[in-house]
Structure 1
Amino acid sequence: MLKFIVKRFFYMLLTIWVVITLTFCLMHAAKGDPLASVGRRLPAQTRKNLYQKYGLDKPLFQQYIIYMKGLVTRLDLGESYVYPGTTVNDIIKKQSPVSAQLGMVSIILGLVVGLALGIIAALKKGHWPDYLVMFLAILGITVPSFVLAALFQYYLTVKLHMFPTTGWGGIKYMVLPALSLSFATIATYGRFMRSSASEVLNQDYILTAKAKGVSNTGMLTHHVMRNAITPTITMLGPQIASIFTGTFVIESVFSIPGIGRYFISCISNRDYPVILGTTIFVAILYIVSVFVVDVLYVIIDPRVKLAGSK
């Protein structure tokens, strides 16, 4: 186990370094002035001072070394070009809780509803509940979240006046963004759970349990759920990482003050430190979530652990 953890930790560091390096190089390879949005009307000497302050007058490799040194030694993600005096660390601390709250609600909603619909479809395979779930799955996978968001805004706010159109401040403001984000998750988990549960229901031990007189509830909770849910756990890692990446467009549509909306505005303003810092933050979240999923896999299905030991 120690060897496994050390190996994964090394791969984690290597992956993070590759992500940082590629993002750094790609941003600086793009044409344009990174201080154009803040220094357009400034005198030439003031612009020169800004370039010296942020180290933009130095060669690219030297800028990279300075950035990596600050990141490794002080966990310093730099200072925003567009918002002078504001560090990237402060931006992430302030904006990420909003995105995390919205993303977590959407994932929990998608996970619970998706698993429930998948089990219902497996139990009623070949009947109308099965067809309805598969239709919703196809709809959720093919229709983008921002299209659903626009439809929800039009019908549930403009027509029916049930929820606020934009903004953030309570449960009412969270309903439409969470539904828009969770629809794809519901479709994905529903489809995978239907396939996995259908396979489990055809196993011999399920027939044995039925022959012994095990109730449908007991069979579902003790046999079907435990064995059918294992493959769906694999998708949990990317879903956790999408707490932030998946909310980028939705936050812009609903004017939610989260890190996603901030990230999009910083891309248009070429705010390099914020783009780099947000990318590093999401990359670390993704890698850690995948590791947690591997551990959960062993806990839920001990056969994985036994296979590994053999």
Structure 2
Amino acid sequence: MSSALLGWYDRNAREMPWRVGPADRAAGVRPDPYRIWLSEVMLQQTTVAAVRDYFVRFTTRWPDVTALAAAPDDQVMGEWAGLGYYARARNLLKCARVVTDEHEGRFPDTYDALLKLPGIGPYTAAAISAIAFDQPETVLDGNVERVMARLHDIHDPLPGSKPVLKEKAAGFTPDHRPGDYAQAVMDLGATVCTPKSPACGICPLCDPCQARAAGTQADLPRKTPKKPKPTRFGHIYIAQRRDGAMLLERRPDKGLLGGMLGWPGSGWCEDPTEAPPFQAKWRILPGEVRHTFTHFHLVLRIWTTELPEQTAPDGLKILDKHAFNPSDLPTVMRKAYDLWRGQ
């Protein structure tokens, strides 16, 4: 089965800015571990189409791990805005700096060593070791889970069925061309064995597919129903001085948007308390900011006033208009800025 899938991949591999295609790989071109690592971190919880432009911008601005390690945190966070999960961006920087400082700018080439780096979990370690270093590691993302569930007609719902699906996937992982195989099975899930209306007629694994034989392929994989996301509310306070300086805060290192610049504000909860950063005649703007995080929806009301000629209140900072760059803000804070700008 792995041979059939590799033959299909040789003819149908998707072109991606981080990928070394099967023909080039057969000719001896090796993937850049930095580009594989960066793409895999970006691809968590999102799609190839959403990541392409981000990846090109990142690698144009920071072409190798040493360049990324030297980048200012706010610039990296600003480029990351829109990809979500800012903890991944913080770990991206931590990992780049560990690889630069402790590994002479070279990613380790084994699963166990990769797993010790910041922000690299079992999936990412397996993907890097397989794709970048051709190690026979089993890569299990959502596409592979779907392919394995259908091949074996497994009806136990995710996430509980992950161990069984990984065991099945490991049984197909070959010693020959494991990096190409890992990409082949992911491509199959993304382009043929799709979540809806799988194209079984052109699938290289249609004959041994147990779900196709049973007519259950469209129902798999089953998933445990998710709880509905709650909605939280909050207040944001934007103050600008006459010379264009802005009042901002650095969020705590831990927690949502940790370590990032943003506007002072209240907590995010069902019934937030108004908490302006200083006494002034604040006015509320019409409209509101809506944003969705992984576990909840957020609705923010925006307040504004003129920033007086004084030092910043405790815990806050004043950035002059030349130092302030809206693109360095996380997406939800940039939405608030856009609403304020359009008042």
Tell me whether the two structures share a fold, i.e. TM-score over 0.5.
no
Structure with larger RCO (C-alpha < 8 A, sep 6+): 1
* Greater fraction of residues in helix: 1
* Greater fraction of residues in strand: 2
Q: TM-score range by the shorter chain?
A: under 0.3
Normalization by structure 2: what TM-score?
A: 0.24
